[in-house]
Amino acid sequence: MAIVAQLGGGVVLAAGGYILQFTAPELGRRRPLFLALAGGAAAGGSIGGTLSIPWSEIVRRLSNRDAVATPIDELAYAPLDCTFALRDIHGAQFSIVQVGAFAALVGVQIVSVECRPWQLFGIGGRGTYFTSRHEVPTSLPAIGRALVDAPQVQGGLGVVAAGFTGSVWHIG
């Protein structure tokens, strides 16, 4: 899953919108899009996405035109921890926790996403459809490499710490 675009923010009470894109071998060349709208609590706001390119990859490509490029899918998509049918998540409950800072073309962020059947106070529905964690740069836990690649090249503007829940719908 990739978060190709997001917009949200507020002070205490807040809202956000996210466009999610999925890929899998079973989908072939198709990349289904979903819109997630959610509300909750936040400090700050941002506009952008979690697609990014590490600085080290840019330098490698510029310094050696014959270098084998890292596939974009590896940079954009975070793995999901389980399998599900896309029709299952249409209308499902969507929760996201996001912490990040962006300025024009550079940024750092951590995003955690969960999708599950709608539940009220943890009652109802089956378990979780999927969870995913996006770290930009992906090397955040490895401090040495993170210092080389942080911040990463990505579109965005703002500073945000947010926790939202809402719903997700298939849009294309």
pLDDT averaged over every residue in the chain: 78
* Domain layout of the chain by residue ranges: 2-170
pLDDT at 165: 92
- Helix H, strand E, coil C: the string for 112-144 is EEEEECCCECCECCCCCCEEEEEEECCCCCCHH
C-alpha distances out from residue 163 to 66, 77, 125, 171, Å = 43, 21, 22, 23
pLDDT at 92: 94
For 91-134, the pLDDT digits (tens) are: 999 999 988 887 766 777 788 999 998 876 666 556 889 998 87
pLDDT at 6: 83
What is the side-by-side strand order in the sheet with 33-48?
2-21, 33-48, 152-170, 93-116, 130-136
pTM of this prediction?
Answer: 0.76
**Alpha carbon 48 to its chain's center:** 10
pLDDT at 15: 92
